Amino acid sequence: MKNRGYYGAFGGAFLPEILVATFEELVKAFEEARQDPGFRREFEEIMTNYCGRPTPLTFAENLTKHFGGPRIYIKREDLNHTGAHKANNVMGQGLLVKRMGKSRVIAETGAGQHGVATATMAAKFGFQCTIYMGEKDVDRQRPNVFWMERLGADVVPVRDGSRILKDAINEAFRDWVGHMEDTHYVLGTACGPHPYPEMVSYFQSIIGMEARNQIMEQEGRLPTRVFACAGGGSNALGVFSGFPDDSIERVAVEAGGKGLESGRHAARIASKDGNIGVAQGYKSYFLQDSDGQMRETHSVAAGLDYVGVSPILAAMAKEGRVRFEAATDREVLEALTLTMNKEGVIPALESAHAFAQAFKEAPDLSGEDILLINQSGRGDKDIFTIADAYNDSAWGDFIRERADHYGA
Protein backbone atom coordinates (compact mmCIF):
# COMPACT_ATOMS: atom_id res chain seq x y z
CA MET A 1 0.00 0.00 0.00
CA LYS A 2 1.58 3.21 -1.19
CA ASN A 3 -0.39 5.66 0.90
CA ARG A 4 -0.21 3.65 4.08
CA GLY A 5 -0.51 5.86 7.10
CA TYR A 6 -1.49 8.99 5.17
CA TYR A 7 -4.58 11.02 5.99
CA GLY A 8 -4.96 13.43 3.11
CA ALA A 9 -1.68 15.30 2.99
CA PHE A 10 -0.78 14.41 6.60
CA GLY A 11 0.86 11.52 8.44
CA GLY A 12 3.35 9.11 6.94
CA ALA A 13 6.35 7.50 8.58
CA PHE A 14 9.58 9.48 8.31
CA LEU A 15 12.02 7.07 9.88
CA PRO A 16 15.75 6.59 10.16
CA GLU A 17 16.72 3.55 8.05
CA ILE A 18 17.64 1.57 11.15
CA LEU A 19 14.05 1.64 12.49
CA VAL A 20 12.26 0.66 9.26
CA ALA A 21 12.22 -3.09 9.96
CA THR A 22 11.03 -2.55 13.55
CA PHE A 23 8.15 -0.41 12.30
CA GLU A 24 7.23 -3.05 9.73
CA GLU A 25 7.10 -5.64 12.49
CA LEU A 26 4.84 -3.31 14.53
CA VAL A 27 2.50 -2.58 11.60
CA LYS A 28 2.17 -6.31 10.93
CA ALA A 29 1.57 -7.18 14.60
CA PHE A 30 -1.07 -4.47 14.93
CA GLU A 31 -2.85 -5.41 11.69
CA GLU A 32 -2.96 -9.09 12.72
CA ALA A 33 -4.14 -8.27 16.24
CA ARG A 34 -6.86 -5.99 14.91
CA GLN A 35 -8.24 -8.85 12.77
CA ASP A 36 -8.14 -11.30 15.67
CA PRO A 37 -11.35 -11.52 17.73
CA GLY A 38 -9.32 -13.11 20.54
CA PHE A 39 -7.20 -9.96 20.83
CA ARG A 40 -10.30 -7.77 20.99
CA ARG A 41 -11.74 -10.02 23.72
CA GLU A 42 -8.50 -9.74 25.73
CA PHE A 43 -8.55 -5.95 25.32
CA GLU A 44 -12.17 -5.69 26.42
CA GLU A 45 -11.56 -8.02 29.35
CA ILE A 46 -8.77 -5.84 30.70
CA MET A 47 -10.74 -2.64 30.02
CA THR A 48 -13.65 -4.04 32.04
CA ASN A 49 -12.01 -5.91 34.90
CA TYR A 50 -8.83 -3.86 35.39
CA CYS A 51 -9.61 -0.34 34.17
CA GLY A 52 -13.24 -0.23 35.31
CA ARG A 53 -14.87 0.41 31.94
CA PRO A 54 -17.33 1.39 30.73
CA THR A 55 -16.83 4.81 32.28
CA PRO A 56 -20.14 6.58 33.05
CA LEU A 57 -21.85 9.26 31.01
CA THR A 58 -23.03 11.82 33.56
CA PHE A 59 -25.93 14.21 32.92
CA ALA A 60 -24.71 17.58 34.25
CA GLU A 61 -28.04 18.72 35.61
CA ASN A 62 -26.79 21.80 37.46
CA LEU A 63 -24.64 23.08 34.60
CA THR A 64 -27.60 22.53 32.29
CA LYS A 65 -29.79 24.65 34.61
CA HIS A 66 -27.03 27.24 34.99
CA PHE A 67 -26.83 27.92 31.25
CA GLY A 68 -30.57 27.45 30.71
CA GLY A 69 -30.12 26.06 27.20
CA PRO A 70 -28.61 22.82 25.94
CA ARG A 71 -28.56 19.58 27.91
CA ILE A 72 -24.96 18.94 28.97
CA TYR A 73 -23.39 15.49 29.36
CA ILE A 74 -19.93 14.54 30.61
CA LYS A 75 -18.07 11.39 29.53
CA ARG A 76 -16.10 10.37 32.60
CA GLU A 77 -12.61 9.23 31.53
CA ASP A 78 -11.46 10.57 34.92
CA LEU A 79 -12.88 7.33 36.35
CA ASN A 80 -10.69 5.13 34.15
CA HIS A 81 -7.85 3.40 36.06
CA THR A 82 -4.90 5.80 36.58
CA GLY A 83 -7.28 8.73 36.19
CA ALA A 84 -7.35 9.47 32.48
CA HIS A 85 -8.03 8.04 29.02
CA LYS A 86 -4.30 7.21 28.68
CA ALA A 87 -4.75 3.68 30.06
CA ASN A 88 -6.95 2.63 27.08
CA ASN A 89 -4.03 3.02 24.67
CA VAL A 90 -1.38 1.80 27.07
CA MET A 91 -3.14 -1.46 27.95
CA GLY A 92 -3.84 -2.10 24.25
CA GLN A 93 -0.18 -1.63 23.34
CA GLY A 94 0.80 -3.79 26.34
CA LEU A 95 -1.23 -6.69 24.94
CA LEU A 96 0.50 -6.15 21.61
CA VAL A 97 3.92 -6.28 23.30
CA LYS A 98 2.99 -9.67 24.76
CA ARG A 99 2.01 -10.90 21.28
CA MET A 100 5.32 -9.68 19.84
CA GLY A 101 7.20 -11.50 22.62
CA LYS A 102 9.10 -8.43 23.83
CA SER A 103 10.04 -7.90 27.45
CA ARG A 104 10.77 -4.18 27.84
CA VAL A 105 8.75 -1.02 27.26
CA ILE A 106 9.85 2.60 27.01
CA ALA A 107 7.75 5.74 26.89
CA GLU A 108 7.93 9.52 26.82
CA THR A 109 5.88 11.57 29.22
CA GLY A 110 5.16 15.27 29.70
CA ALA A 111 2.81 15.78 32.62
CA GLY A 112 3.54 12.26 33.75
CA GLN A 113 0.08 10.78 33.16
CA HIS A 114 1.24 8.63 30.26
CA GLY A 115 4.33 7.63 32.26
CA VAL A 116 2.23 6.52 35.22
CA ALA A 117 -0.15 4.59 32.95
CA THR A 118 2.80 2.88 31.21
CA ALA A 119 4.53 2.04 34.51
CA THR A 120 1.22 0.59 35.73
CA MET A 121 0.86 -1.55 32.61
CA ALA A 122 4.49 -2.74 32.88
CA ALA A 123 3.95 -3.76 36.51
CA LYS A 124 0.78 -5.63 35.60
CA PHE A 125 2.30 -7.44 32.57
CA GLY A 126 5.77 -7.98 34.04
CA PHE A 127 7.78 -5.84 31.62
CA GLN A 128 10.90 -3.81 32.34
CA CYS A 129 10.07 -0.14 31.98
CA THR A 130 12.02 3.06 31.27
CA ILE A 131 10.29 6.44 31.11
CA TYR A 132 11.90 9.46 29.42
CA MET A 133 10.85 12.81 30.81
CA GLY A 134 12.19 16.31 30.16
CA GLU A 135 14.17 17.54 33.16
CA LYS A 136 11.88 20.55 33.46
CA ASP A 137 8.84 18.25 33.65
CA VAL A 138 10.58 16.00 36.20
CA ASP A 139 10.94 19.07 38.41
CA ARG A 140 7.36 20.30 38.03
CA GLN A 141 5.61 16.88 38.11
CA ARG A 142 7.29 15.31 41.13
CA PRO A 143 4.22 13.36 42.39
CA ASN A 144 3.93 11.47 39.10
CA VAL A 145 7.70 10.78 39.09
CA PHE A 146 7.29 9.38 42.60
CA TRP A 147 4.53 6.99 41.49
CA MET A 148 6.34 5.86 38.33
CA GLU A 149 9.36 4.91 40.44
CA ARG A 150 7.24 3.18 43.09
CA LEU A 151 5.54 1.20 40.32
CA GLY A 152 8.98 -0.08 39.34
CA ALA A 153 9.91 2.11 36.37
CA ASP A 154 13.24 3.85 35.72
CA VAL A 155 12.61 7.54 35.15
CA VAL A 156 15.31 9.19 33.03
CA PRO A 157 15.44 13.02 33.05
CA VAL A 158 16.22 14.40 29.57
CA ARG A 159 18.58 17.36 29.56
CA ASP A 160 18.57 18.12 25.80
CA GLY A 161 16.76 20.97 24.07
CA SER A 162 14.14 22.80 26.11
CA ARG A 163 14.01 19.77 28.45
CA ILE A 164 10.29 19.11 27.84
CA LEU A 165 8.02 16.59 26.07
CA LYS A 166 9.40 16.82 22.51
CA ASP A 167 12.93 16.25 23.85
CA ALA A 168 11.72 13.20 25.79
CA ILE A 169 10.24 11.79 22.55
CA ASN A 170 13.58 12.22 20.76
CA GLU A 171 15.39 10.44 23.58
CA ALA A 172 12.90 7.55 23.61
CA PHE A 173 13.52 7.03 19.86
CA ARG A 174 17.27 7.04 20.53
CA ASP A 175 16.86 4.31 23.17
CA TRP A 176 14.72 2.26 20.79
CA VAL A 177 17.36 2.33 18.06
CA GLY A 178 19.75 0.66 20.49
CA HIS A 179 17.31 -1.99 21.81
CA MET A 180 14.97 -2.95 18.99
CA GLU A 181 14.93 -6.72 19.63
CA ASP A 182 13.46 -6.71 23.12
CA THR A 183 11.92 -3.23 23.42
CA HIS A 184 8.65 -1.60 22.35
CA TYR A 185 8.09 2.14 22.43
CA VAL A 186 4.65 2.91 23.93
CA LEU A 187 3.88 6.27 22.32
CA GLY A 188 1.24 8.12 24.31
CA THR A 189 -0.84 9.95 21.73
CA ALA A 190 -2.12 9.78 18.16
CA CYS A 191 1.04 11.36 16.72
CA GLY A 192 4.36 10.01 15.49
CA PRO A 193 5.09 7.80 12.48
CA HIS A 194 2.57 5.26 11.13
CA PRO A 195 1.14 3.06 12.71
CA TYR A 196 0.98 5.09 15.95
CA PRO A 197 -1.76 7.59 14.99
CA GLU A 198 -3.99 4.79 13.73
CA MET A 199 -3.14 2.34 16.52
CA VAL A 200 -3.59 4.82 19.36
CA SER A 201 -6.91 6.08 18.00
CA TYR A 202 -8.05 2.49 17.50
CA PHE A 203 -7.55 1.75 21.21
CA GLN A 204 -9.08 5.11 22.22
CA SER A 205 -12.18 4.55 20.05
CA ILE A 206 -13.63 2.61 22.98
CA ILE A 207 -14.53 6.05 24.45
CA GLY A 208 -16.70 7.01 21.50
CA MET A 209 -18.26 3.60 21.16
CA GLU A 210 -19.41 3.68 24.79
CA ALA A 211 -20.48 7.33 24.69
CA ARG A 212 -22.69 6.79 21.62
CA ASN A 213 -24.49 3.85 23.23
CA GLN A 214 -24.87 5.74 26.50
CA ILE A 215 -26.32 8.91 24.99
CA MET A 216 -28.72 6.87 22.87
CA GLU A 217 -29.83 5.03 26.01
CA GLN A 218 -30.24 8.18 28.10
CA GLU A 219 -31.57 10.64 25.50
CA GLY A 220 -32.69 8.47 22.60
CA ARG A 221 -30.87 10.79 20.19
CA LEU A 222 -27.40 11.95 19.27
CA PRO A 223 -25.66 15.05 20.65
CA THR A 224 -25.50 18.32 18.70
CA ARG A 225 -21.85 19.00 19.50
CA VAL A 226 -19.02 16.92 20.98
CA PHE A 227 -16.15 18.72 22.73
CA ALA A 228 -12.69 17.37 23.55
CA CYS A 229 -9.36 18.96 24.42
CA ALA A 230 -6.54 18.35 21.95
CA GLY A 231 -2.92 17.87 22.91
CA GLY A 232 -1.62 15.17 20.58
CA GLY A 233 -5.27 14.40 19.87
CA SER A 234 -5.90 10.91 21.24
CA ASN A 235 -8.85 11.58 23.55
CA ALA A 236 -10.47 13.79 20.90
CA LEU A 237 -10.14 11.10 18.20
CA GLY A 238 -11.36 8.52 20.71
CA VAL A 239 -14.62 10.29 21.49
CA PHE A 240 -15.15 11.68 17.94
CA SER A 241 -14.90 8.17 16.48
CA GLY A 242 -18.27 7.36 18.05
CA PHE A 243 -19.91 10.28 16.25
CA PRO A 244 -18.89 10.31 12.58
CA ASP A 245 -22.36 11.61 11.60
CA ASP A 246 -22.60 14.65 9.31
CA SER A 247 -25.22 16.20 11.62
CA ILE A 248 -22.81 16.43 14.58
CA GLU A 249 -20.23 19.15 15.18
CA ARG A 250 -16.94 17.90 16.56
CA VAL A 251 -14.98 20.57 18.43
CA ALA A 252 -11.30 20.13 19.35
CA VAL A 253 -10.01 22.61 21.91
CA GLU A 254 -6.33 23.55 22.00
CA ALA A 255 -4.33 25.36 24.66
CA GLY A 256 -4.82 29.10 24.19
CA GLY A 257 -2.31 29.76 26.99
CA LYS A 258 -1.90 33.48 27.59
CA GLY A 259 -4.00 34.24 24.50
CA LEU A 260 -3.49 33.58 20.77
CA GLU A 261 -2.12 37.09 20.22
CA SER A 262 0.53 36.65 22.92
CA GLY A 263 2.36 33.92 21.00
CA ARG A 264 2.43 32.00 24.31
CA HIS A 265 0.08 29.10 23.58
CA ALA A 266 0.03 25.61 22.06
CA ALA A 267 -2.66 26.17 19.39
CA ARG A 268 -1.24 24.57 16.26
CA ILE A 269 -4.44 24.78 14.22
CA ALA A 270 -6.69 27.34 15.98
CA SER A 271 -3.97 30.02 15.82
CA LYS A 272 -2.21 31.46 12.78
CA ASP A 273 1.18 30.44 14.20
CA GLY A 274 1.12 26.79 13.06
CA ASN A 275 2.68 25.58 9.81
CA ILE A 276 2.65 22.29 7.97
CA GLY A 277 5.92 20.46 8.36
CA VAL A 278 7.60 17.15 9.13
CA ALA A 279 8.94 16.52 12.62
CA GLN A 280 9.23 13.56 14.99
CA GLY A 281 8.52 11.16 12.15
CA TYR A 282 5.21 12.55 10.79
CA LYS A 283 3.71 15.35 8.73
CA SER A 284 1.24 17.68 10.37
CA TYR A 285 0.80 21.19 11.74
CA PHE A 286 3.59 22.26 14.07
CA LEU A 287 4.37 25.43 15.97
CA GLN A 288 7.61 26.26 14.23
CA ASP A 289 9.28 29.33 12.85
CA SER A 290 10.15 29.88 9.18
CA ASP A 291 13.34 27.83 9.28
CA GLY A 292 11.66 24.84 10.90
CA GLN A 293 12.84 25.51 14.47
CA MET A 294 10.23 24.39 16.99
CA ARG A 295 8.80 27.26 18.98
CA GLU A 296 8.36 27.34 22.74
CA THR A 297 4.81 26.43 23.69
CA HIS A 298 2.87 27.42 26.77
CA SER A 299 -0.16 26.06 28.60
CA VAL A 300 -1.36 25.80 32.17
CA ALA A 301 -2.06 22.17 31.24
CA ALA A 302 1.15 20.20 30.75
CA GLY A 303 -0.67 17.54 28.71
CA LEU A 304 -1.60 20.05 25.99
CA ASP A 305 1.81 21.72 25.88
CA TYR A 306 3.09 20.07 22.67
CA VAL A 307 4.28 21.48 19.33
CA GLY A 308 2.55 18.94 17.05
CA VAL A 309 -0.94 17.50 16.55
CA SER A 310 -2.31 14.22 15.25
CA PRO A 311 -2.18 13.97 11.44
CA ILE A 312 -5.64 12.38 11.56
CA LEU A 313 -7.07 15.46 13.31
CA ALA A 314 -5.16 17.74 10.93
CA ALA A 315 -6.83 16.00 7.97
CA MET A 316 -10.27 16.16 9.60
CA ALA A 317 -9.78 19.88 10.24
CA LYS A 318 -8.82 20.45 6.61
CA GLU A 319 -11.94 18.56 5.46
CA GLY A 320 -14.11 20.62 7.79
CA ARG A 321 -15.01 17.61 9.92
CA VAL A 322 -13.51 19.03 13.12
CA ARG A 323 -13.71 22.64 14.24
CA PHE A 324 -10.60 23.80 16.13
CA GLU A 325 -10.89 26.34 18.93
CA ALA A 326 -8.62 27.49 21.76
CA ALA A 327 -9.32 28.27 25.42
CA THR A 328 -6.98 30.48 27.45
CA ASP A 329 -5.49 29.56 30.83
CA ARG A 330 -7.83 32.05 32.46
CA GLU A 331 -10.98 30.69 30.77
CA VAL A 332 -9.90 27.19 31.75
CA LEU A 333 -9.60 28.05 35.44
CA GLU A 334 -13.04 29.68 35.38
CA ALA A 335 -14.55 26.60 33.74
CA LEU A 336 -12.82 24.36 36.27
CA THR A 337 -14.21 26.38 39.20
CA LEU A 338 -17.75 26.35 37.79
CA THR A 339 -17.65 22.60 37.11
CA MET A 340 -16.34 21.78 40.59
CA ASN A 341 -18.96 23.95 42.28
CA LYS A 342 -21.92 22.91 40.14
CA GLU A 343 -21.24 19.22 39.58
CA GLY A 344 -18.76 18.05 42.22
CA VAL A 345 -16.35 16.70 39.62
CA ILE A 346 -12.77 17.92 39.18
CA PRO A 347 -11.70 17.90 35.53
CA ALA A 348 -7.98 17.79 34.72
CA LEU A 349 -6.67 21.16 33.52
CA GLU A 350 -6.40 19.59 30.06
CA SER A 351 -10.05 18.46 30.10
CA ALA A 352 -11.17 21.85 31.44
CA HIS A 353 -10.30 23.29 28.00
CA ALA A 354 -13.19 21.28 26.52
CA PHE A 355 -15.50 22.50 29.29
CA ALA A 356 -14.43 26.13 28.75
CA GLN A 357 -15.27 26.01 25.04
CA ALA A 358 -18.61 24.25 25.65
CA PHE A 359 -19.49 26.96 28.19
CA LYS A 360 -18.66 29.70 25.65
CA GLU A 361 -21.09 28.13 23.17
CA ALA A 362 -23.87 26.99 25.54
CA PRO A 363 -25.61 30.39 25.90
CA ASP A 364 -26.32 30.52 22.15
CA LEU A 365 -27.96 27.09 22.02
CA SER A 366 -31.48 25.92 22.87
CA GLY A 367 -33.09 23.22 25.00
CA GLU A 368 -33.27 21.09 21.86
CA ASP A 369 -29.48 20.85 21.77
CA ILE A 370 -27.28 18.30 23.54
CA LEU A 371 -23.63 18.96 24.33
CA LEU A 372 -21.25 16.14 25.12
CA ILE A 373 -17.97 17.01 26.85
CA ASN A 374 -15.20 14.45 27.09
CA GLN A 375 -13.62 14.73 30.52
CA SER A 376 -10.28 13.19 29.56
CA GLY A 377 -8.95 12.97 33.11
CA ARG A 378 -9.21 13.90 36.76
CA GLY A 379 -7.86 17.15 38.14
CA ASP A 380 -6.59 16.18 41.55
CA LYS A 381 -3.19 15.51 39.88
CA ASP A 382 -3.07 19.28 39.20
CA ILE A 383 -3.27 20.34 42.85
CA PHE A 384 0.06 22.24 42.74
CA THR A 385 -0.80 24.23 39.60
CA ILE A 386 -4.38 24.90 40.67
CA ALA A 387 -3.33 25.97 44.18
CA ASP A 388 -0.85 28.39 42.55
CA ALA A 389 -3.52 29.78 40.25
CA TYR A 390 -5.94 30.30 43.15
CA ASN A 391 -3.10 31.82 45.14
CA ASP A 392 -4.03 29.55 48.05
CA SER A 393 -2.00 30.75 51.04
CA ALA A 394 -3.01 27.89 53.36
CA TRP A 395 -1.64 25.49 50.75
CA GLY A 396 1.58 27.52 50.65
CA ASP A 397 1.90 27.18 54.44
CA PHE A 398 1.37 23.45 54.16
CA ILE A 399 4.12 23.11 51.54
CA ARG A 400 6.53 25.14 53.69
CA GLU A 401 5.81 22.91 56.69
CA ARG A 402 6.45 19.79 54.62
CA ALA A 403 9.71 21.32 53.38
CA ASP A 404 10.76 21.96 57.00
CA HIS A 405 9.94 18.35 57.79
CA TYR A 406 12.50 17.30 55.16
CA GLY A 407 15.04 19.75 56.57
CA ALA A 408 15.03 22.03 53.51
Instruction: Identify the residue among 86, 184, 212, 225 touching ligand PLP (CB under 6 A).
Output: 86
Within 13 Å and on the Cβ side, how many CA atoms surround 363? 4
| Long-range CB pairs of 36-45, under 8 A, 24+ apart, other chains included | 39/95, 39/99, 42/95, 43/91, 43/92, 43/95, 43/203
Q: Pick the closest to residue 43 from 77, 5, 84, 87 (CA basis).
A: 87
Cis peptide before 193 (omega within 30 of 0): no
Of 12, 257, 274, 303, the one binding ligand PLP (CB under 6 A) is 303
- Rounded CA-CA distance 328/72 in Å is 21
Residues within window 163-192 making contact with ligand PLP, judged by CB under 6 A: 189
Binding mask 28-67 for ligand PLP (x = CB under 6 A): ----------------------------------------
Residue closer to ligand PLP (CB basis): 214 or 376: 376
Tell me the HSE value of 326 on the side-chain side, using a 13 A CA sphere: 27
The Cα 91–Cα 95 span in angstroms is 6
C-beta atoms surrounding 52 within 10 Å = 13
Distance CA 231, CA 139 (A): 21
The H-assigned helical ranges of 220-271 are 234-240
E strands present in 258-298: 274-279, 282-287
Q: How far is the CB of 274 from ligand PLP (least distance, A)?
A: 15
Using CB under 6 A as the binding rule, whether residue 231 contacts ligand PLP is answered as yes
Find out whether 315 and 9 touch, Cβ atoms under 8 Å: yes
> Which of 55, 130, 201, 351: binder of ligand PLP (CB under 6 A)?
351
**Residue among 116 and 365 whose Cβ is closer to ligand PLP:** 116
Strand order in the sheet with 104-109: 154-158, 128-134, 104-109, 183-185
Name the minimum Å distance from CB 252 to ligand PLP. 9
Minimum distance from residue 209 beta carbon to ligand PLP (Å): 17
Q: How far is the CB of 202 from ligand PLP (least distance, A)?
A: 14
Binding segment (CB under 6 A) for ligand PLP, from list 45-53, 216-224, 233-241, 357-365: 233-241
For the residues of 173-199, what is the DSSP string, one character each?
HHHHHH-TTTEEE---SS-SSTTHHHH
Active site residues: 86, 108, 376
- Choice between 67 and 108, CB closer to ligand PLP: 108
Residue with Cβ nearer ligand PLP (90 or 97) = 90
**Minimum distance from CB of 242 to ligand PLP (Å)?**
15
Residues within window 102-121 making contact with ligand PLP, judged by CB under 6 A: 113-114
> Closest approach of Cβ 394 to ligand PLP, in Å?
26
Q: Could you say whether residue 357 binds ligand PLP (CB under 6 A)? A: no
Q: Rank residues 223 and 379 by Cβ distance to ligand PLP and give the closer one.
A: 379
Q: Total number of residues binding ligand PLP (CB under 6 A)?
A: 20
Identity of the amino acid at 66? H
CB of 332 to ligand PLP, least distance (A): 12
* Residue 192 vs 365, nearer CB to ligand PLP: 192
Q: Is 235 in the site for ligand PLP (CB under 6 A)?
A: yes
Rule CB under 6 A: say whether 96 interacts with ligand PLP.
no
Other C-beta atoms lying within 10 Å of the C-beta of residue 174: 13
Binding to ligand PLP by residue 84, rule CB under 6 A? yes
265 binds ligand PLP (CB under 6 A): no
90 scored as a contact of ligand PLP (CB under 6 A): no
Ramachandran quadrant class, 149 (left: phi over 0; alpha: psi -120 to 50; beta: rest): alpha
Q: How far apart are CA 279 and CA 66, in angstroms?
A: 44
Among 229, 251, 253, 269, binds ligand PLP (CB under 6 A): 229
The amino acid sitting at 71 is R
User: Which parts of this chain interact with ligand PLP (CB under 6 A)?
Assistant: 84, 86, 113-114, 189, 229-236, 303-304, 348, 350-351, 376-377
